[in-house]
Chain A
């Protein structure tokens, strides 16, 4: 379990340990002979509030992974110790996320997974750093998560810098292959840290592939209607519209531009929040030919396809939050196997040195530098005929890209 912390808190922690709170614990360790103590994993996600759906998907992915792992025998090097999830709701608030960190620390958590929203992730991982407990980021776009020099933070997924670079490279190939029909773009982004950060990077890099950014439009969350943005886009007449926003605004803008029959060479989004199976199935006409560079599972992975089938059989949606948190649990399990214990130092060492194979994801070999996995990769996708195909990188491509998109008649 955790080492007693080195601050003058050890007495409290000792007392706290002996008066452990029952609340929030999902069943106590089974008092069965020879059953090793379970390894507690704290899951902190916004399962209520504005982004409840995303938080719930993250929680679902993590708990499924824990379940599957336990069914497969738990952590072998720890005598088959099972993982036990502690469920935390951050309520989208920084102070509640930190509160959950403290609560779960009392309950002897070995590692945390969270938090979807970067502000919560930043504060929660900072709080966990006091105890030297590993904090694994499943979803969180801000680079501030991994540039603070904290030894306990690990992010398996790539930061948006990598996503933007990959997306731009893919766009460049696409553009050149089609004879460079795209020379100008308008960027539409949400005004928070993910949209602003992505848009800044894009504005800096697009000119290098011959695309002139004519305008950058920042919008609030939520935005009530996109008619004016559509108006501006129409008047600027760019070849590409590039979006970085959350699900609802993404879908609303796509729909608005489709309804107004705006002719574009392409929609090319980065971490498009609305680009998922629900969107393409429910709005095949609107989504047709739209492209997105995003976190995506490896379509050639049998495990991923099997998981996808399982999820869809329960009428749930196979979204990135789900398979990212699933993968993060597997990462943790792999590290526990190598460490042979849930002790902080050993686990941190195992994570830092991890070469975990992220089977669900199209990643390169795992290598953490300052907590960021260098092997993380995004994929470029396109919606075709009510389904989502991978169009780049080539080794994972499942279809040929259609670019430029046909004009409206």
Chain B
């Protein structure tokens, strides 16, 4: 364990120092990695630890983004207050979806699909109602002062993303040590056996999804504050759902560092392949090549490492 701790400390130190020495682009990309790791961890809690695969996690992400944005724009709330409000909204949505779905006994693919349906329903609603400005999207007025949860220098978003990532890692670490986490894993491994052991399976799954919803929603607000514009597709689109699922599963679902590893790998591959195609002469449009390589790499990683990248670091805890 000690060597692992030293490595972690070094990685943390490197992450803290990075923006002071690295080019802005690298800082931006690293910020995205930590952000993805954060929202990926939200998926990991319900999908990895509790084993409830979800295809529609964007429903929470978008709820957070829209809640905080509407509170700011329409009701004049301060962004820092709107943030926890958004997270609470995400938790509520998580709770509702969980109660409805698990009461109905949904499991496995059925649960995954209903989350997809909820995300799609929210997207359509957001596209149709006026308090989300429908298809026009919502623009947060650019006023880059820390008091507004907007920063002129992207370095602050980087540190915030890093902090969020660390918090999410700590949450995951806690789950590998405490009873709640142990109960989630029991539910994942064998629901009936868990029930037989006296675990209130329903309650545990609801808790997992509620927590997961809160975290994803917090990520949604972060995203809205960083880019200052959201619309129904950005907030509830299937792309975000897939990203959250992908980084966790590729990195190793149910592991602490899975989402971070997955985010690192996939972001790295995306950046590298995108740049690759840009080097080729302009008039021949070979940009799609970059995504072909990305897709192939995804297939190879999943094929070669069925348990995810975390398996490579077998000293990383996996709660058995």
Q: Which residues of A come within 8 Å of B, CB atoms?
A: 7-9, 11-13, 15-16, 19-21, 23-26, 47-48, 52, 56, 59-60, 63-64, 85-89, 91, 93-96, 98-99, 102-103, 105-106, 119, 122-123, 126, 129-130, 142, 144, 148, 150, 190-193, 195-197, 218, 220
Q: Which residues of A contact B200 (CB under 8 A)?
A: none
Of the listed residues A94, A195, A197, the one surrounded by the most CB atoms of chain B closer than 10 A to its CB is A94
23 contacts between A and B (CB under 8 A): A7-B152, A7-B153, A12-B23, A16-B25, A23-B275, A24-B279, A26-B281, A85-B282, A86-B278, A89-B277, A94-B234, A106-B24, A119-B137, A122-B139, A122-B229, A126-B227, A130-B152, A142-B136, A144-B137, A192-B135, A196-B134, A196-B135, A196-B136
* Chain B residue, CB-CB nearest to A20: B23
Q: A94: which of B141, B229, B270, B272 is its contact (CB, 8 Å)?
A: B229
A89 near B285: Cβ-Cβ < 8 Å: no
Q: Which of B250-273 contact A (CB under 8 A)?
A: 270-272
In the A-B complex, the 9 residue pairs with the closest CB atoms = A16-B23, A23-B275, A63-B282, A102-B28, A103-B25, A102-B25, A196-B135, A87-B278, A191-B135
Is B1 an interface position by the 8 A CB rule? no
Q: A21: which of B23, B136, B276 is its contact (CB, 8 Å)?
A: B23
* Chain B residue, CB-CB nearest to A200: B136
A48 near B288: Cβ-Cβ < 8 Å: yes
Q: Report Cα–Cα, A195/B127, bound state, in Å.
A: 12
Q: Which residues of B contact A85 (CB under 8 A)?
A: 282
Q: B285: which of A23, A47, A126 is its contact (CB, 8 Å)?
A: A47
Q: Which residues of A contact B154 (CB under 8 A)?
A: 102, 130
A119 near B278: Cβ-Cβ < 8 Å: no
Which one of B14-22, B101-109, B179-187, B211-219 contacts A? B14-22
Q: Report Cα–Cα, A197/B285, bound state, in Å.
A: 32
Is B239 an interface position by the 8 A CB rule? yes
Q: Which residues of B contact A191 (CB under 8 A)?
A: 127-128, 134-135
CB of B14 to closest CB in A, whole Å: 16
A89 near B227: Cβ-Cβ < 8 Å: no
B139 near A47: Cβ-Cβ < 8 Å: no
Main secondary structure of the interface of B (DSSP, over half): helix
Q: B25: which of A99, A142, A197 is its contact (CB, 8 Å)?
A: A99
Q: Report Cα–Cα, A259/B72, bound state, in Å.
A: 49
Q: Which residues of A contact B229 (CB under 8 A)?
A: 94, 119, 122-123, 144
Residues of chain B at interface, number, CB under 8 A:
50
* Chain A residue, CB-CB nearest to B281: A26
CB of A247 to closest CB in B, whole Å: 17
CB of A135 to closest CB in B, whole Å: 14
Q: A19: which of B23, B141, B234, B276 is its contact (CB, 8 Å)?
A: B23
A197 near B136: Cβ-Cβ < 8 Å: yes
Given known contacts A87-B278, A196-B135, A123 and B227 CB-to-CB distance under 8 angstroms: yes
CB of B121 to closest CB in A, whole Å: 13
CB of A96 to closest CB in B, whole Å: 8
* Chain B residue, CB-CB nearest to A194: B135
Q: A99: which of B21, B29, B285 is its contact (CB, 8 Å)?
A: B29
Q: Count of A-B contacts with CB under 8 A?
A: 145
Q: A23: which of B27, B141, B231, B279 is its contact (CB, 8 Å)?
A: B279
B25 near A21: Cβ-Cβ < 8 Å: yes
Q: Report Cα–Cα, A85/B280, bound state, in Å.
A: 12
Is B148 an interface position by the 8 A CB rule? no
- B168-203: contact bitstring with A at CB < 8 Å (1 yes, 0 no)? 000000000000000000000000000000000000
Q: A13-B23, A26-B278 are in contact. List 10 more A-B contacts (CB 8 A).
A: A23-B275, A24-B275, A25-B279, A26-B281, A59-B282, A99-B32, A99-B271, A119-B234, A148-B139, A220-B124
Q: Which residues of B contact A106 (CB under 8 A)?
A: 23-25
Q: Report Cα–Cα, A192/B237, bound state, in Å.
A: 13
Is B6 an interface position by the 8 A CB rule? no
Q: Which residues of B contact A193 (CB under 8 A)?
A: 135-137, 231
Q: Which residues of A contact B290 (CB under 8 A)?
A: 48, 89
Q: Report Cα–Cα, A24/B287, bound state, in Å.
A: 12
Is B113 an interface position by the 8 A CB rule? no
Q: B274: which of A8, A26, A89, A105 is its contact (CB, 8 Å)?
A: A89
* Chain A residue, CB-CB nearest to B267: A99
Q: Report Cα–Cα, A193/B230, bound state, in Å.
A: 11
CB of A249 to closest CB in B, whole Å: 14
Q: Which residues of A contact B239 (CB under 8 A)?
A: 93
Q: Which residues of A contact B147 (CB under 8 A)?
A: none
A59 near B285: Cβ-Cβ < 8 Å: yes
A26 near B279: Cβ-Cβ < 8 Å: yes
B24 near A13: Cβ-Cβ < 8 Å: yes
A87 near B228: Cβ-Cβ < 8 Å: no
B227 near A16: Cβ-Cβ < 8 Å: no
* Chain B residue, CB-CB nearest to A197: B136
Q: Report Cα–Cα, A190/B28, bound state, in Å.
A: 33
B24 near A91: Cβ-Cβ < 8 Å: no
Is B142 an interface position by the 8 A CB rule? yes
Q: Which of B48-94 contact A (CB under 8 A)?
A: none
Of the listed residues A13, A20, A24, the one surrounded by the most CB atoms of chain B closer than 10 A to its CB is A24
Q: B227: which of A9, A56, A95 is its contact (CB, 8 Å)?
A: A95
CB of B69 to closest CB in A, whole Å: 13
Q: Which residues of A contact B282 (CB under 8 A)?
A: 26, 59, 63, 85, 87
Q: Which residues of B contact A93 (CB under 8 A)?
A: 239
Of the listed residues A19, A95, A144, the one surrounded by the most CB atoms of chain B closer than 10 A to its CB is A95
Q: Report Cα–Cα, A192/B154, bound state, in Å.
A: 29
Of the listed residues A89, A196, A197, the one surrounded by the most CB atoms of chain B closer than 10 A to its CB is A89
Is B114 an interface position by the 8 A CB rule? no
* Chain B residue, CB-CB nearest to A11: B20
Q: Which residues of A contact B29 (CB under 8 A)?
A: 99, 102
Q: Which residues of A contact B163 (CB under 8 A)?
A: none
